[in-house]
Structure 1
Amino acid sequence: MPSQGFRDWLAAGKPYALIRPARALQRNLKRHGLTVYDYPDDDHLEANTPEDHTPFSVTGWPSANARWKARGLDVMPRNDSRAARKENADIARQLIRDRDAGVPGVAWIKYINWTDESGTCRQERWMPAHTTRSSTDKGHIHVSGRSDADDDPRAEDYDPIARMDGDRGMSVHSDSILEAWRLGAPKAADGSEIEPVKWRIRDEAWQRSITAALAGAAADAKSARIAIEALVAAINAGGGSVDAAAIIAHVDALAAAERDRELQLLAEVAELRAELAAARAVAEAQLSPAERAALPPH
C-alpha cells in the first residue's frame, strides 16, 4: 500500500528536486557516456517504506529527509559485457576509497549498493562508521545521500572516473578495449586458445603500451589544469576577474572528446588485430606440421 508520504506528494503536485551533490555526481558521470537514473519508478513511489529515490523518503540519516528532496542515484553499466560490469564495480570501489579517505566530494554519501565482477552484491554504509553488509540491489551502483547534505557544493568537480584515470593510468578504459581483443582471440577446433602463452605475452605487452599512452594523456590534462589555475590566479591577483571553473570545464570537455576519439581508434585497432590473428590461425591450421614449423614467429 502506498505511504502517506506518497499521497501527500500527489496532493502537493508531485514536487521533485534532486539534491545538489547528487546532481553534480550524475552530471559528471554522464559526461563519460554513462546512464545515471534518479527519478523514482512506480515501485519506489508506491513502496510501503519510501526510500531515497523518492522526494518523501522516510529513511533519512542522520536526521529526517527534507521534503521534497530526492537523494538517490543508480549508476548503470554501459552494457552487459564483463568489461562494463568491471567498470561499474571499479567506479564503486573508487567511491568507497574516496569516502573512506575523507574526500570532500563524496562526504554527502550515506551508503552505496554495488555488485562486483563475481555477482556478489554489498551495501557499504557510513552511518557514521564504514560497515559492509550484503544487499539484493544488484546490477548497478545505487548511491544514497545524507539528510544534512542537500546543498553541499563540494561534489561539483568530483569525478570518480577521472580519479581512476589519474590514479591508475586510465586502466578502466584500457581494460574495456582489451576485453574486446580477448573476445576475438583465435581458438582451435576444440575451443582452446591457439598458442595461449604467446597470446598472453602479446596481450600484456599491448596493455602496457595502452596504459602508458593514456597515463601520459592524463598527466597532460592535469598539467593543463594546474597551468590554467595558476594563470587565472595571477590575473585575478592583478585586479582582473576570470572564472577558472568555466575555462577548465571547457578544456575538460575538449579533452574528453579527444580521448573518446583516441579510445575509438584503439578499439578499432584491437578489432583488426583480433581479426588478423584469427585469420592467421585458420590459415595455419591448413598447413602441414613442417610448413607450420617454417613460419616466422609472431
Structure 2
Amino acid sequence: MATSAYRAWVRAGRPWKKAGPIADLEKYAQRHGIAVLGTLGNTAHLTASFPEDHTPFSYTAWPKRLSGYVVTAIDLANSRGLGAAILRDARAGRLPWLKYLNTNGRHYNHSDRFRSSRPSNDHHVHVSIRTDHLTTDITDYDPLGLDMDLSDRVTLPEWVRENHPELDETISVRTALASGYGHARSAKDAVHGQVLPALAALAETVSAIRADLDALAETLRNPTD
C-alpha cells in the first residue's frame, strides 16, 4: 500500500533529483559502458509500504532524514568486477559516503565497516549513500582504474617476451596497474594479461635499483681517490 509520503510526493508533482555521488557514479558507468540499471525506483518501489533508497522519500535514509526529494541509490551492472572493487575500497575506508552495498548476492553495511555480509537478492551492484553526503563530489572516484591515460605504454622486460611470446611487446600502463584491482575475468587472464606484466615491470625496476646500490657499495669499498 502506498504511503502518505508517496501521496504527498505525487501531490507535489513527483519532483526528484539524484544525490551528488549517485549522479557521479552514473556518469562514471556511462563513460565506460557499464549498464545503469536504475536510480528512481519503479512503481513497486515507489508505492511500497516501506519505501527505501530508490525513492525520493526513503524511510531508510541515514543518518539524517531526507530534506527535499532526493534519490540516494543506484543499480549498476556488475561489469569488470565493479562490485568487488567498490567493496575493496569501502573496507579500506576510502568511501565515507557509502551507506551500504549489495553485490553478488550479499549485503555489506557501514555498521561494521563492510567486513561481514548477509544474503541479498541483488547480484548486480546496488549502492546506497549516506544522507550527510548528498552533495559530496566523487567525480575523481575510479574504482576500476578506467579513467587513466590509455595512450601511455611501457615495453615488457625481455625475459617476459622470451617466455611469453603470446603477449604484446608493449602493454598499457592502465592494464599493468589493473592487476591490483581484480580486473581479470579468469586466472589465465590475470597471469598472462595483467599480473605477469605488472610484476615483471616491478621486478625490472627493483633489479635496476639493486644494480645501482651494488655499484654504489663497490665505489664506497674501493674509492678511486
Gaps of 5+ in 2: 147-173, 200-225
Which residue of 1 is the match for residue 154 of structure 2?
Answer: none
1:129-174 CA distances to partner (integer Å, 9 max, x unpaired)?
4353423322211110101110012x111021117963516762x5
CA apart distance, 1:31 = 1.5
CA apart distance, 1:61 = 1.2
Please list, as runs of the form range in 1=range in 2, the aligned pairs for 1:134-283 lying within 5 A after superposition: 134-153=118-137, 155-162=138-145, 166-168=177-179, 172=183, 174-175=184-185, 204=188, 208-211=191-194
**RMSD over aligned Cα, in angstroms?**
2.8
Supply the distance in 2 between the matched residues of 1:137 and 1:55 (Cα, whole angstroms). Answer: 22
Which residue of 1 is the match for residue 19 of structure 2?
Answer: 19
Say whether the 8 Å CA contact 1:61–1:127 is kept in structure 2: no
Which residue of 1 is the match for residue 111 of structure 2?
Answer: 127
Which residue of 2 is the match for residue 7 of structure 1?
Answer: 7
Say how many residue pairs are matched: 171
Correspondence 1:58 to 2:49: no
**SS of equivalent residue, structure 1 residue 211:** helix
Gaps of 5+ in 1: 78-83, 116-120, 179-202, 217-298
More strand by share: 2
**SS of equivalent residue, structure 2 residue 25:** helix
Correspondence 1:113 to 2:96: no
Supply the distance in 2 between the matched residues of 1:72 and 1:43 (Cα, whole angstroms). Answer: 15
**Which one of the candidate residues 84, 94, 117 is aligned to 2:85?**
94
Supply the distance in 1 between the matched residues of 2:90 and 2:27 (Cα, whole angstroms). Answer: 19
Supply the distance in 1 between the matched residues of 2:182 and 2:89 (Cα, whole angstroms). Answer: 18
Amino acid at match of 1:109: L
Taking structure 1 as reference, are residues 26 and 215 closer, same or farther at Cα in structure 2, changes over 3 Å only? Answer: farther
1:105-144 CA distances to partner (integer Å, 9 max, x unpaired)?
x2211001111xxxxx211000364353423322211110
Supply the distance in 1 between the matched residues of 2:180 and 2:130 (Cα, whole angstroms). Answer: 32
Supply the distance in 2 between the matched residues of 1:209 and 1:25 (Cα, whole angstroms). Answer: 30
Supply the distance in 2 between the matched residues of 1:212 and 1:20 (Cα, whole angstroms). Answer: 34
Return the TM-score normalized by structure 1.
Answer: 0.51
Amino acid at match of 1:162: G
CA apart distance, 1:70 = 0.5
Identical-pair percentage: 28
Supply the distance in 2 between the matched residues of 1:207 and 1:135 (Cα, whole angstroms). Answer: 28
Return the TM-score normalized by structure 2.
Answer: 0.66
Say whether the 8 Å CA contact 1:169–1:215 is kept in structure 2: no
Taking structure 1 as reference, are residues 214 and 58 closer, same or farther at Cα in structure 2, changes over 3 Å only? Answer: farther
Supply the distance in 1 between the matched residues of 2:181 and 2:97 (Cα, whole angstroms). Answer: 26
Supply the distance in 2 between the matched residues of 1:139 and 1:17 (Cα, whole angstroms). Answer: 25
Amino acid at match of 1:73: I
Say whether the 8 Å CA contact 1:25–1:159 is kept in structure 2: no
